[in-house]
Structure 1
Amino acid sequence: MPAEVRPGEPYPGPVLDLLAAAGDRTVFEHGTRTVSGAGMLGLVRRIAAGLRAAGLGLGDGVAMMLGVTPEAFAAIIAGHVVGARVVGVRPGLPPAQLRHVLHQDVDATVTDDDRGTLSLSDLLSTPDEGGRPELSARPGDIARLLYTSGSTGTPKACAQTYAAMSAAWTARPEAWPPAIKELASRLGRYLVFGSLSSQVMMEYGVLTLAAGGTMVVADPPAFPDAITRLRATASVITVPRLYKLVAAQRRRPADLSSLRALMVSGSPLEASRLREARDVLGPVVFHGYGQTETGTISMATPQDVPPSVGIPPDVIDVEARGPDGRPVPPGVDGELYVRTPAQATGYWADPGQSAEVFVDGWVRTRDLGHFDHDGRLYLTGRTRDVIIINANLHYAGPIERALAAAPGIAEAYVVGAPDEETGEAAHAFVVPEPGRTPDPAALRERVAERLGDACVPATITVIDEVPVGPNGKPDKRLLLPAR
């Protein structure tokens, strides 16, 4: 049963209450080691005391360069206990991006070893004085900086206040929307991997705590082996990893009988591929839609009909707006504007970008989509994912969907590149289904029939798989240099 959380408690108070309520129950499993709720609370107390002893507290920027361990989870919560501005650092960042992150008002860096200003072992040497940790933050203080993927250049730091984190439903079962309530019931053993600095990874971890489940470390996160070996019931999965899992299950089925939820995030999922995943894996795929700037916007459960990403909860406002800035009727595509209780206040130290994206209390998602008459949300593309051909704008999304729906095509990606005759031209990259050989002429004809001759790709290249960035998302920028 979900734990009870005291209403009105500022963040991370609800998480501390969840740990206290868990008591001797295992909340984190790392190899042969298990940590109870009481044990995790003790780790939080010691690390928070260590941070304060190091002179860190309210308003200080503390970067977390940590692996996936009980101590890493505790360190992030402890950073919030002392009222710091917690900066999550994903592993695998290119050197230039890492320098950018660590030079944005960071006062200390916490690491697993001696690479940073502070090591976890030093922080944990502080005695545990017991009791409930004293919370230092005020509602308007910045609680954390969440970095965007950087797929369009330098990652931007989304600044989220303590008030916004307190307003999020993750740790509050009484506030869970229906889709989250269904997901929570399946989080008995939730796989964590990669980095707890990931917004998605951490927040599903807190949701698991609130649902009475256990976070289980998958190291390495090889699917399907990790699911089978650890008897996992749930995991986050990117679209490319989902495709690989489905293909592996077709070739050599593994025992995935424990699996009850795969939370797909990071990029859109084609309707045909979602149906295939459900056919092969069963009713376990939850397709989430959200952004670093907003948090979760909506989620489709296994019962929802693709390609909908579900119905946004009542506490979240979503509008599809036309070029004039006014909402468009159901069935008509528009740019999605979103307003959530837990959204960021803007980009840290970047007023120009903030003014462009955070508008009158709304977040411009730069995504295109529409609603049906029942309120279900459908994504159709990105406003910035455009190719200017003969001075006309053409979106890459519809071209990708036309190609991906062709027989024998598993995935399709389209990028624009300069062209001497047309200004820009579309270039397509397709991943064929196993044993299939695409016919470029047939693919071009298909695009022409559906979208017109101007959208026909200048080149169609067959690739084994799409390159991905450090966060596991497809990175289309890496496709063109390979041409």
Structure 2
Amino acid sequence: MNHDPRWTLAQASARNAALRPDHPAIICEGRRTSHARLHQDSNRAAHALRAAGIGRGSRVAYLGRESEHYYVTILACAKAGAVIVPVNWRLTPGEVTHILRDSGAELLFLEDEFKATADAAAAGSATPALHTVIRLDGPADDGTTGRTRERGAGLCAWYAQESPDDLDPGTGPDDAVLQIYTSGTTGLPKGVVLAHRTFFTLPAAVRATGADPDDWIDWREDDVSLISLPGFGIAGIGWFLYGFCVGATNVVMPMYVAQEAVRLIEEYGVTITFVAPAMLQMMLDEQNAGPKAFASLRKIAYGAAPISESLLLRSLEVFGCQLAQIYASTEAGSVAACLPPSDHRPGSRLLQAAGKPCPGNEIKVIDRDGNRLPPGEIGQVCVRTPAHMIGYWNRPEATAQTLVDGWLHMGDAGYLDEQGYLFLCDRINDTIIVAGQNIYPAEVEKQLSEHPAVADVAVVGVPDARWGEAVHAAVVLRAGARAKPRELLLFLRGRVADYKIPLAYHVLDTLPRNPSGKILRRMVREQLGEAQRTPA
């Protein structure tokens, strides 16, 4: 099925139901939901939203794990003209309060598992706009206590009596449909508002330019797509919606478990998925991982964090399918750049690249004054894409700083080569400055990750009275492995310049990451600072 950038999610749902009604749209924990059933259920839920006072532009929050019921609510909001606000279920009550209050959410869909968090978040007058809470599970109807119906029963009962007829909310491709809150690595999270067009532009651009879809990230109607990243972030919800909009089947994981991911790939014949590099590593380390388990795969997209060449080469060998790297952000809404499968050649320098602009996109690198830099010079990465955000919710100043003349300022430091490939150095805010020299942590991390004893690594700058900052490394060792600081230091000699080599090495059990797999360097710095203050 072709993507049309003038369409909305409501139109895609109606088309899927008409053209392939019995084809499974979602498989979750063994439950199958056809495109016809998904369309009808989301229609009923949309009518129920209207009856609850939810209209065009209303914000509707969802606090729960991924399931077919989550996607019913997303489509219901689209059909009612409302905007879905997914809430990270790992957040504290205070963080949830901020999202509910900042978004002005009027209605909350709530999974019972997170009821205590929601109760604490919405206590008192903290969330004045919130007037309705719909429990997804709901109480048992047999008079007993301490029990719940099957998952989603409360939601189904809420909309069961409503009409299955289509609604016309009067929205178009440029209207808001999704509001995702950033991970909040600096300051309070901001709501990134995305339009319907976000989920149609990339395939439409590939088709319009005549590019071979196989060279990029493509979705086909006969695909079985594994949704392994959380649906409260753009990686999870975006991957689902792109597959949904072509009528594919989405296999949904309520929470990523590597052993379960391997089983699902083999059982359902998964053809395509998107994962973070750490998830690749975990799958490869599973006992049943091998050619037989992964025989159905045609393409794996990966991104959200740096990847070592050794992991890439092992992935090419074991998964036996195409690999494509993604460079994206919530603000971009979609894939900004891609390293195509054809560039995944052992020994190629392009394995270090983030990729080249996807069809329909442009990338430039600028200096501090906004001037475009020539190839090879490091500066701030900027992207122009038709999928970009509408803006930050109720933050015009922040929007104006990030979205300038149609260009998204990504917050990453990098450079373009002569062929237009983008090479990332690091987040601009994560750059370590030692005696005036810029050090990009990702460069050092990539080299340290090649050490056979190192399973995970984060390099950060810590305050230093003499040099301003000093380079420190936090490492997680592989099970049973040992490595002394001097051994790690000597390993880096000749691999990176001497001034980039960490002065200290801290062994941690795990590294803090956000749901997309990105290292939370601020938390790493806090942990290292605490370790230095604690007497041995």
Same fold (TM over 0.5): yes
Task: Kindly state the Cα deviation for residue 124 of structure 1 after the two structures are TM-superposed.
Answer: 1.7
Matching residue of 2:66? 68
| Partners of 1:409 and 1:127 in 2: CA distance | 56
Task: Kindly state the Cα deviation for residue 50 of structure 1 after the two structures are TM-superposed.
Answer: 0.4
Could you say if the C-alpha distance between residues 353 and 213 of structure 1 is closer, same or farther in structure 2, counting changes exceeding 3 Å?
same
The reply to whether residue 118 of structure 1 matches residue 134 of structure 2 is: yes
Q: Secondary structure at the match of 2:459?
A: strand
Larger mean CA deviation between 463-472 and 175-184 belongs to 175-184
Matching residue of 2:260? 225
1:311-322, aligned counterparts within 5 Å?
Answer: 311-322=356-367
Which of 321, 340, 351 in structure 2 is aligned with 1:301? 340
| Partners of 2:161 and 2:182 in 1: CA distance | 34
Matching residue of 1:216? 251
Matched AA of 1:425: A
Matched AA of 2:466: E
Matching residue of 1:348? 393
Task: Kindly state the Cα deviation for residue 185 of structure 1 after the two structures are TM-superposed.
Answer: 4.6
Which of 278, 281, 287 in structure 2 is aligned with 1:240? 278
| Partners of 2:42 and 2:437 in 1: CA distance | 56
Task: Kindly state the Cα deviation for residue 254 of structure 1 after the two structures are TM-superposed.
Answer: 7.3
Matching residue of 1:145? 179
1:149-228, aligned counterparts within 5 Å?
Answer: 149-162=183-196, 164-165=197-198, 168-169=201-202, 174=207, 178-179=213-214, 183-185=218-220, 188-193=223-228, 195-228=230-263
Matching residue of 2:378? 333
1:73-92, aligned counterparts within 5 Å?
Answer: 73-92=71-90
Larger mean CA deviation between 306-315 and 78-87 belongs to 306-315
| Partners of 1:474 and 1:7 in 2: CA distance | 34
Query: For the Cα contact (< 8 Å) 2:205–2:359, is it kept in 1?
Result: no
Matched AA of 1:109: L
| Partners of 1:267 and 1:74 in 2: CA distance | 30
Q: Deviations over 1:250-287 (max 9, x none)?
A: 99887332333332232222333222322232234332
| Partners of 1:172 and 1:24 in 2: CA distance | 29
Task: Kindly state the Cα deviation for residue 362 of structure 1 after the two structures are TM-superposed.
Answer: 1.0
Could you say if the C-alpha distance between residues 167 and 57 of structure 1 is closer, same or farther in structure 2, counting changes exceeding 3 Å?
same
Query: For the Cα contact (< 8 Å) 2:205–2:360, is it kept in 1?
Result: no
| Partners of 2:288 and 2:467 in 1: CA distance | 43
Across the aligned residues of Structure 1 and Structure 2, the Cα RMSD in angstroms comes to 3.1
| Partners of 1:471 and 1:170 in 2: CA distance | 23
The reply to whether residue 270 of structure 1 matches residue 308 of structure 2 is: yes
Q: Secondary structure at the match of 1:226?
A: helix
Could you say if the C-alpha distance between residues 359 and 332 of structure 1 is closer, same or farther in structure 2, counting changes exceeding 3 Å?
same
Identity %: 27
Matching residue of 2:485? 440
Q: Secondary structure at the match of 2:202?
A: coil
| Partners of 1:329 and 1:7 in 2: CA distance | 33
Query: For the Cα contact (< 8 Å) 2:192–2:330, is it kept in 1?
Result: yes
Matched AA of 2:47: A
Larger mean CA deviation between 169-178 and 91-100 belongs to 169-178
| Partners of 1:72 and 1:13 in 2: CA distance | 19
Normalised TM-score (structure 1): 0.88
Which of 3, 6, 9 in structure 1 is aligned with 2:7? 9
Which of 375, 387, 390 in structure 1 is aligned with 2:420? 375
| Partners of 2:259 and 2:222 in 1: CA distance | 17
What runs of 5+ residues in structure 2 fail to find an aligned partner?
119-131, 136-154, 345-350, 532-536
Q: How many residues align?
A: 479
Could you say if the C-alpha distance between residues 345 and 265 of structure 1 is closer, same or farther in structure 2, counting changes exceeding 3 Å?
same
Task: Kindly state the Cα deviation for residue 338 of structure 1 after the two structures are TM-superposed.
Answer: 0.6
Matched AA of 1:227: V
Query: For the Cα contact (< 8 Å) 1:273–1:410, is it kept in 2?
Result: no
Q: Secondary structure at the match of 2:326?
A: strand
Matching residue of 2:524? 479
Task: Kindly state the Cα deviation for residue 61 of structure 1 after the two structures are TM-superposed.
Answer: 1.2
Larger mean CA deviation between 47-56 and 188-197 belongs to 188-197
Could you say if the C-alpha distance between residues 15 and 248 of structure 1 is closer, same or farther in structure 2, counting changes exceeding 3 Å?
same
| Partners of 1:8 and 1:454 in 2: CA distance | 52
Matching residue of 1:404? 449
Matching residue of 2:408? 363
Task: Kindly state the Cα deviation for residue 399 of structure 1 after the two structures are TM-superposed.
Answer: 2.5
Query: For the Cα contact (< 8 Å) 1:68–1:194, is it kept in 2?
Result: no
Q: Deviations over 1:31-74 (max 9, x none)?
A: 34221111111011101100001110111111122332222112
Matched AA of 1:35: T
Matching residue of 1:255? 293
Q: Deviations over 1:88-109 (max 9, x none)?
A: 1122113332111111121221
| Partners of 1:193 and 1:184 in 2: CA distance | 16
Task: Kindly state the Cα deviation for residue 141 of structure 1 after the two structures are TM-superposed.
Answer: 3.9
Could you say if the C-alpha distance between residues 289 and 5 of structure 1 is closer, same or farther in structure 2, counting changes exceeding 3 Å?
closer
What runs of 5+ residues in structure 1 fail to find an aligned partner?
none
Q: Deviations over 1:163-212 (max 9, x none)?
A: x4365335898459635766425973222356433322222223323444
Q: Deviations over 1:86-131 (max 9, x none)?
A: 211122113332111111121221224586623424542342243x
Matched AA of 1:118: I
Query: For the Cα contact (< 8 Å) 2:324–2:341, is it kept in 1?
Result: yes
Matching residue of 1:424? 469
Normalised TM-score (structure 2): 0.80
Task: Kindly state the Cα deviation for residue 24 of structure 1 after the two structures are TM-superposed.
Answer: 1.4
Matched AA of 1:198: G
Matching residue of 2:33? 35
Query: For the Cα contact (< 8 Å) 1:93–1:470, is it kept in 2?
Result: no
| Partners of 1:70 and 1:171 in 2: CA distance | 26
Q: Secondary structure at the match of 1:479?
A: helix
Matched AA of 2:300: L
Q: Secondary structure at the match of 1:263?
A: strand
Query: For the Cα contact (< 8 Å) 2:216–2:340, is it kept in 1?
Result: no
